Every structure is written in structure tokens, then in C-alpha cells.
């Protein structure tokens, strides 16, 4: 049985026309005034005006309750993260995020929940002035599917396939905090109060590295955002580029919170393999090292050199004493 909101009788468990309008009103507030949105929410489709010297960049990410976020995650965090993970894909391409559509399946039209969810979306959209331009609303288990549209200057873009032997490998920010927060929520360890909020913030409110992606457009040879864990996501760059890599695991940037619970949390396995950090991993030809480090400093995004691209295929993760700690299981597997 499939039901589209507003198109069914108000039988038990369904959502009435009024509730449908309420949902629409909530979401309509996420539409910003933008001169290139010729038609936005309210018609059968949106019409966007494209600048002549840019290319359109499109990506989609779906979040299912209980799979991509714990069932008791707050509505505001769910809203924030749904958009932020999509923005992160734009960052990984070096693209500027512009618009998004929101397809949502909801069990019911709870006004408080909707208000908080909408607030989360608007907080994630604010730094980038991204506008909602349309979507679809149906009744069902909580699932959020966002499609994001962005722009790139013609002939530019950070692909996974450009890494070359000898390139330096970098990551932005710090790795493993989202995984650490998840271990805390799952009761695997208990984070002390002074680290708990910071770690949970990293899990629920990831910061998409849009400015870093744009700054890297002229310098990086490949890039990806770390959603499934560094080893898995760097693995995608290696596969797409037909190369291998060695990284110094002990160089991976980690937070105070992770340092304090390092052994309990499984040591370097966490920053190597835990997902959900939404930092960027990128490769840089050695002659661009100075420019990249300067550009990252200018946009105040920390970045750390962690290793080199090599011709020998596969990934090797080494400790200072040469111990190989390459994870065997590569990131989160959905199937
Ligand atoms: P249709 O039947 O043509 O798909 P809908 O009744 O589903 O139209 O939607 C009417 C308008 O509301 C459309 O412009 C659509 O883009 C917008 N809309 C519906 N759901 C959402 C949503 N979750 N977020 C943003 N806009 C939405
Ligand atoms: Mg529709």
C-alpha cells in the first residue's frame, strides 16, 4: 500500500489535507529569494537559470532512520545532517552548493517535530545560502532524501580519478570523533562530560568543507569526502586512479576527546575506519604543496599530510615502528 500525503482519505493513520498543507508551509520557509530561481516551490517543477560559464553539479543522499542515524536523534539534528552530508558531496567536488530538493517520508505530521527538523535544515543551509526549491512528501517510515544542486566553473572539478604516483595525501580537520560519539551512544564506552558534547557535535553536526574544496580546485589532483571511513574512501580514490598508497597512521589528526579514550576506542582503527566525519581526503602533486597549505590556512581549515600515492596497488597503513595496521574491513558496508 502506497500513500502520498494529501491524496488519501483521512482514514486512521493517514495524514489529512490540512496536515499536508502544514508540512508544505513549514518547508516553504526554507525557500530563499534567489535571482536564478525562476520558479520555485508550488508548481510541478522548479525552473533554474544557469550561468553560461558554469556547469551544473548534482548529487543525492538518502538518510533512513535507524540506519543512518539512531532512532532517538533529535529532529533538528536529523534536519541538519540530512543537508550537511549532501553539501559535503559538493565540497568533495570543489563545487559551490546552490539549491536542494527534499523528498521526505514521514510517519505522521507532528508540528513540533517538523519545526525542529526545518530549523536543522535552515541551520545547515545558512552558511552557504542554499535554497530549497521543491520536493515530495509522503507518509511512511522516516526517510529523508535530499538532492543537491551546485555549480562549478567550466572545465573544473575535483574527481576521484586524478591521483598520480608521488602525490601527497592530505585530510582536513580531525578524524574519528563521529565514530567515538557512536561508541558512546551504543554504550561501548562512556565519554567524560568534558569530551561528550564535542564528540556528539561532530556526529550530529558535521561541517561540510566547502571552502576547502573550492580552494583546492586549481591544486588537488583528486578528492573525496570521508563518509564511510578514511581507509574505505581513500580506497575509492586509489581504485578510480589506478594507484596505491602508504599512509602513516600515527600522523592522523585526532581530537583531545579521542586521545583521552584512545585505547578504549580501539586506537588508530577509529580514525582509520570509522565513518561520518565528513572531512575531505585529497591528493596534491608535490609542486603544489606550498600553495595548498597556504590556501587551507587562508580559509582556516586545518589540513594534515598523512602519506603518499604509490604505484604498488592497495592501501598500507603503518605505525612509526613499521607495524602494518591496514584495516581488513574497508569502512561501512551497506549490503
Ligand atoms: P505533484 O503532485 O505535482 O508532485 P505535490 O503536491 O507533491 O505536487 O507538491 C506541490 C509543490 O510542493 C511542488 O512544487 C513540490 O516541489 C513542493 N513540495 C512538496 N513536498 C515538498 C517538500 N518535502 N519540500 C519542498 N517542497 C515540496
Ligand atoms: Mg509530489
Residue 168's contacts (CB-CB under 8 Å, 6 or more residues apart) are: 283, 284, 285, 286, 289, 305, 307, 308, 309
Whether 53 lines ligand 1, by a CB cut-off of 6 Å, is no
CA atoms within 13 A on the CB side of 228: 14
Is the pLDDT confidence value at 7 over 60?
no
Cell of 173: 580537520
Q: Is 45 touching ligand 1 by the criterion CB < 6 Å?
A: no
From the alpha carbon of 41, which atom of ligand 1 is closest?
14
Q: Above 90 in pLDDT, residue 19?
A: no
Whether 209 and 89 have beta carbons less than 8 Å apart is answered as: no
The answer to whether the 19-153 and 168-318 domains have the same CATH topology is no
Strand, coil or helix: 292:
helix
**Does 41 sit in the ligand 1 pocket, CB within 6 Å?**
yes
Rounded Cα gap, residues 270 and 300, in angstroms: 25
Q: Is 121 in the pocket of ligand 1 (CB under 6 A)?
A: no
Phi-psi region of 27 (alpha: psi -120 to 50; beta: other; left: phi over 0): alpha
Say what the pLDDT of residue 15 is.
59
CB atoms within 10 A of CB 101: 18
pLDDT of 334 > 70? The answer is no
Asked if 163 contacts 243 with a C-beta cutoff of 8 angstroms, the reply is yes
Distance in angstroms (rounded) separating the CA atoms of residues 191 and 181: 8
Residue with the smallest CA separation from ligand 1 atom 16 is 134
Displacement of CA 229 from its chain's centroid (Å): 12
Q: Is the pLDDT of residue 329 over 80?
A: no
- Domain coordinates in residue numbering, the chain: 19-153, 168-318
Q: How many angstroms separate the CA atoms of 137 and 102, rounded?
A: 8
pLDDT at res. 18: 72
The alpha-helical segments, DSSP class H, found in 29-106 are 75-93
Please give the model's pTM, rounded to 2 decimal places.
0.92
- pLDDT tens figures, 217-255: 999 999 999 999 999 999 999 999 999 999 999 999 999
What homologous superfamily is domain 168-318 in, according to CATH? PurM-like C-terminal domain (3.90.650.10)
- CA 185 to ligand 2 center in whole angstroms: 36
Distance 3 CA to ligand 1 centre (A): 15
Phi, psi (deg, nearest 5) at residue 298: -60, -40
Give me the CATH code for the 19-153 domain, please.
3.30.1330.10
Encode pLDDT of 117-154 as tens digits: 999 999 999 999 999 999 999 899 999 999 999 999 99
Spatial separation of the C-alpha atoms in residues 15 and 11, rounded to whole Å = 8
- The arithmetic mean of pLDDT across residues 283-292, rounded, is 98
Binding site membership of 114 for ligand 1 (Cβ less than 6 Å): no
Please give the pLDDT value at position 3.
45
Amino acid at each position: 500500500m502506497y500513500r502520498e500525503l494529501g491524496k488519501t482519505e483521512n482514514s486512521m493513520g493517514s495524514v489529512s489535507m490540512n496536515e499536508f498543507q502544514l508540512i508544505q508551509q513549514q518547508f516553504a520557509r526554507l525557500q530563499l529569494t534567489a535571482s536564478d530561481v525562476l520558479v520555485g516551490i508550488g508548481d510541478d517543477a522548479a525552473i533554474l537559470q544557469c550561468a553560461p560559464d558554469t556547469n551544473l553539479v548534482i548529487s543525492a543522499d538518502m538518510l533512513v532512520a535507524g540506519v543512518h542515524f539512531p532512532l532517538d536523534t533529535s529532529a533538528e539534528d536529523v534536519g541538519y545532517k540530512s543537508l550537511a552530508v549532501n553539501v559535503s558531496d559538493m565540497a568533495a567536488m570543489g563545487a559551490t552548493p546552490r539549491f536542494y530538493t527534499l523528498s521526505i517520508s514521514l510517519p505522521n505530521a507532528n508540528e513540533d517535530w517538523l519545526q525542529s527538523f526545518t530549523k536543522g535544515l535552515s541551520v545547515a543551509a545558512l552558511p552557504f545560502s542554499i535554497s530549497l526549491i521543491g520536493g515530495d512528501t509522503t507518509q511512511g517510515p522516516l526517510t529523508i532524501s535530499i538532492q543537491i544542486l551546485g555549480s562549478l566553473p567550466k572545465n573544473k572539478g575535483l574527481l576521484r580519478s586524478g591521483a598520480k604516483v608521488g602525490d601527497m595525501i592530505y585530510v582536513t580537520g580531525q578524524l574519528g570523533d563521529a565514530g567515538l560519539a557512536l561508541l558512546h551512544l551504543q554504550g561501548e564506552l562512556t565519554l567524560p562530560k568534558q569530551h561528550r558534547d564535542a564528540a556528539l557535535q561532530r556526529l550530529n553536526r558535521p561541517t561540510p568543507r566547502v571552502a576547502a574544496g573550492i580552494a583546492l580546485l586549481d591544486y588537488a589532483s583528486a578528492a573525496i569526502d570521508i563518509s564511510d571511513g578514511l581507509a574505505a574512501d581513500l580506497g575509492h580514490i586509489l581504485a578510480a586512479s589506478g594507484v596505491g598508497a602508504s599512509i602513516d597512521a600515527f600522523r592522523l589528526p585526532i581530537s583531545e576527546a579521542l586521545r583521552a579514550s584512545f585505547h578504549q576506542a580501539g586506537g588508530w582503527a577509529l580514525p582509520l575506519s570509522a565513518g561520518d566525519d565528513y572531512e575531505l581526503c585529497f591528493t596534491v602533486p608535490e609542486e603544489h604543496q606550498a600553495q595548498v597549505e597556504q590556501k587551507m590556512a587562508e580559509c582556516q581549515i586545518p589540513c594534515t599530510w598523512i602519506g603518499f600515492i604509490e604505484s604498488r596497488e592497495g592501501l598500507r597503513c603503518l605505525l612509526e615502528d613499521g607495524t602494518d595496521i591496514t584495516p581488513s574491513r574497508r569502512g561501512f558496508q551497506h549490503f
